[in-house]
A and B are shown apart, each in its own frame.
Chain A
Amino acid sequence: MSTTAATTTLTTGAIPDIAPVTEHPKGATWIDDLRAARVVWKREILRFRRNRIRIITSLAQPILFLFVLGTGLGTVIKTPGNFKFTTFMFPGVIAMTILFTAIFSAVSIVWDREFGFLREMLVAPVRRGAIMIGKCAGGATVATMQGIIMLVLAGLVHVPYSPVLLVELVALMILTATMLTAFGLFLAARIQEIESFQVVMQLFVLPVFFLAGAVFPIARLPTWLGTLTRFDPLAYAVDPMRRSVFQAVHAPPAVRRQLSPGLSWGHWHLPVWFELGIVVLVSASLLGAAIWQFTRPE
Chain B
Amino acid sequence: MAVVDAEASVEVRDLQKRYGDLEAVRGVTFDVAPGETFGFLGPNGAGKSTTISMLCTLITPTGGQARVAGSDVARDPLGVRRRIGLVFQDPTLDEYLTAYENLRFHAELYRMPKEKVPERIQTVIEMVGLWHRRDDLVRTFSGGMKRRLEIARGLLHSPRVLFLDEPTVGLDPQTRTNIWEYIQALRDRERITIFLTTHYMDEAEYCDRIAIIDNGEIVTLDTPNALKAAIGKDRISMRTDDDDKAKAELAERFDLEATVSSEGLIFQVAGGEEFVPNLFAQIDVPIQAVSIARPTLDDVFMSHTGRTIRDAEASTSERLMNNPMVRARRGR
Contact = CB atoms under 8 A, between A and B. Distances in A.
A121 interface: yes
B129 A39 contact: no
B92 A5 contact: no
A9 B178 contact: no
Nearest to B144: A1
B59 interface: yes
B90 A116 contact: yes
Contacts of A77: none
Interface residues of B, number: 56
A53 interface: no
A10 B181 CA distance: 8
A23 B157 CA distance: 11
Nearest to B76: A27
Contacts of A46: 97, 101
Contact of B108 (A19, A36, A192): A36
Contact of A298 (B58, B82, B174): B58
A10 B332 CA distance: 38
Interface stretch (A56-64, A122-130, A179-187, A207-215): A122-130
B277 interface: no
Contact of B123 (A15, A20, A193, A298): A15
A21 B101 contact: no
Interface in B86-118: 86, 88, 90-97, 101, 104-106, 108-113, 116
B93 A298 contact: no
Q: What class of interface size applies to chain A in its complex with B? A: 35 or more
A10 B96 CA distance: 28
B262 interface: no
Interface in A165-196: 192-193
Nearest to A14: B189
A127 to B, nearest CB: 8
B112 A21 contact: yes
B114 to A, nearest CB: 10
B200 interface: no
Given A9-B127, A27-B78, A116-B93, A126 B109 contact: yes
A117 B92 contact: yes
A221 interface: no
**Those 4 A-B pairs whose CB atoms lie nearest each other, nearest first:** A39-B108, A116-B92, A125-B81, A124-B109
Given A20-B158, A22-B112, 13 more contacts: A1-B129, A1-B142, A1-B178, A5-B129, A18-B158, A19-B116, A27-B76, A39-B109, A43-B94, A43-B105, A46-B97, A124-B109, A193-B331
Interface of B: 56-60, 76, 78-79, 81-83, 86, 88, 90-97, 101, 104-106, 108-113, 116, 120, 123, 126-129, 142, 144-145, 157-159, 174-175, 178, 181-182, 185, 189-192, 331-332
